Amino acid sequence: MNLQRPLLLASNSPRRKELLSSLGLKYKVLVKEVNEDFPDHLKREQIAEYLASHKAEAYTSDITNEALITADTIVCLGDRVLNKPADFEEAKEMLQALSGTHHEVITGVCILIKEQKTVFHDITKVYFKQLSEAEITHYITHYKPYDKAGAYGIQEWIGMVGIARIEGSYFNVVGLPVQKLYAKLEELGIVTL
């Protein structure tokens, strides 16, 4: 795998780092605190793309020859956006709402190079079985999913015992739609084999 310009990942997410490394890409991590508020009028896909693009704008002055990747993953139950839970009770309420139904995970991605910004998203539909209160309590107590949108990680215990099926990219639910990202990096001439 050859990089035509240095790659920067603007994320502290261990999952995104692992996925990017698994693609065989060498990169540096560059992280800034960025406000994650979004305009109320935005709808689901627009929210994910807006947040990824907004994060990238914070790095505009840091980019010379590099390609910067930012991403934001949201969990949508109908029109309701489930963010990261603040505490045990909020995590429990979210998982109870997701139990026995399906929701969509949308990840917005932005690739910023000095000359241009490319923004896209991917959507995966996730189906949960009916979760028992004991399963929900066990998961929150042992895995503390307070850094995860929707209060769960598909790669963790709750995903293994609770997710009946998905439609779309598994990696998108983990936090980065690597297939689409790789295709865009190739299309932009940033990655070659």
Catalytic residues: 72
DSSP single-letter state for residue 188:
T
Which residues touch 192 (CB under 8 Å, ≥6 apart)? 1, 2, 4, 186
Element (H, E) at 71: strand 67-77
User: Tokens 């502290």 belong to which residue?
Assistant: 12
Could you give the CA distance from residue 43 to residue 81 in angstroms, rounded to a whole number?
9
Residue 85 sits at φ, ψ, to 5 deg, of -70, 145
Place of tokens 């603007």: 10
DSSP, residue by residue, 100-131: TSEEEEEEEEEEEETTEEEEEEEEEEEEE-PP
3-class secondary-structure state, position 62:
helix
Q: Which amino acid is at 88?
A: F
